[in-house]
Amino acid sequence: MRQAAIILHLWKATIIQAMEYRVSFVFAIIANFFDFVFGLLQYLIFFTAAKSIAGWDSDQMLVLYGVFMLVFALHFILLYPNLVAMGEMVNSGNLDLLLTKPVNTQLMVSFRRISLEELGSIGTAVLLLCWQLYRGVIVAEPGNILLFGVSMISSLLLIYSVFLLLICLAVIMERLENMAQLLWSMFALCRYPVDIYPDRIRYAFFSFLPVAFIATVPATALLGRASAMTVWLGFAVSISAVAACSWLWRRTIRVYTSAGG
């Protein structure tokens, strides 16, 4: 509870800080909204030439896009600013000061900053999903909702474990620029259903590089097409990934050499 209170207070400070640069703040919200709209147009253009892609029609694809944007925006709000700040903290040595505080350092490096610029995207993604629910594309049965909830948690945990892995690499290598780029490359793979890829790649996306669990599986849960076993497998994979990365973080701060001195 104490850690949560500290993080809430840090979020408050970040929001106050963001308000210092009002024009930049408002501009970022508008830019992100247009990014959402252009992404949506891209999907619609595909379906002027084809009725379905790898078994996904345009309505189902919009559900996938809604889920993808929801996950992406949550990552952008909660994790991205911390990823950017981490590179600077390692290079400047300010990580030293954080590590001498009586706090859960993993939580602090993960969630000390928040960015509200993608709030608009969350709103539009939820609106898109509600619209698809209203049109009957989303199958709102309790079993599906449960599988969707579990698969969304798995999705966020998987993204968090990749984030934590990058944070650890930044500390170990003392300099790791464009960390966000690596994360975003992973997101680029999640933007479309894994069914569009050949069998071997699809297998890899369910196993070694489990990007299928980030958007495709939650979307299939909403569409009533998910296998419960796949969803729970994804949950197990994501919990294991977070546990492994937490262990790595604890090892990382023991081998941390600090800047200078």
| Residues numbered 79-108 forming contacts with other proteins, rule: CB under 8 A | 92-94, 96-97, 99-103
Tokens describing residue 21 = 């640069």
Q: Is 213 exposed, middle or buried (0-12, 13-18, 19+ CB in 10 A)?
A: buried
Specify the DSSP class assigned to residue 52: E
- Residues with Cβ within 8 Å of 62's Cβ and at least 6 positions away in sequence, in order, are 40, 43, 128, 132, 137
- Residues with Cβ within 8 Å of 49's Cβ and at least 6 positions away in sequence, in order, are none
| Contact call for residue 181 and other proteins (CB under 8 A) | no
- Closest CB 100 distance from other proteins, rounded Å: 5
| Contact call for residue 256 and other proteins (CB under 8 A) | yes
Are 20 and 97 a contacting pair, CB within 8 Å?
Answer: no
| 251/165 Cα distance (integer angstroms) | 12
H helices within 79-141, ranges in order? 80-92, 95-99, 105-111, 119-134
Give the number of residues in contact with other proteins, rule: CB under 8 A: 27
Residues 234-253: x where in contact with other proteins by CB under 8 A, - otherwise, as a string = -------------------x
> Around 53, how many Cα atoms within 13 Å sit in the side-chain half-sphere?
20
Pick 4 or 196: Cβ nearer other proteins? 4
| Residues numbered 13-72 forming contacts with other proteins, rule: CB under 8 A | 13, 16-17, 20
| 156/191 Cα distance (integer angstroms) | 15
| Residues numbered 5-24 forming contacts with other proteins, rule: CB under 8 A | 5-6, 9-10, 13, 16-17, 20
Pick 8 or 201: Cβ nearer other proteins? 8
Instruction: Give the one residue of 24, 185, 207, 258 binding other proteins; rule: CB under 8 A.
Output: 258
Pick 171 or 237: Cβ nearer other proteins? 171
| Contact call for residue 173 and other proteins (CB under 8 A) | no
| Contact call for residue 255 and other proteins (CB under 8 A) | yes
Binding interface with other proteins (CB under 8 A): 2, 5-6, 9-10, 13, 16-17, 20, 92-94, 96-97, 99-103, 253-258, 260-261
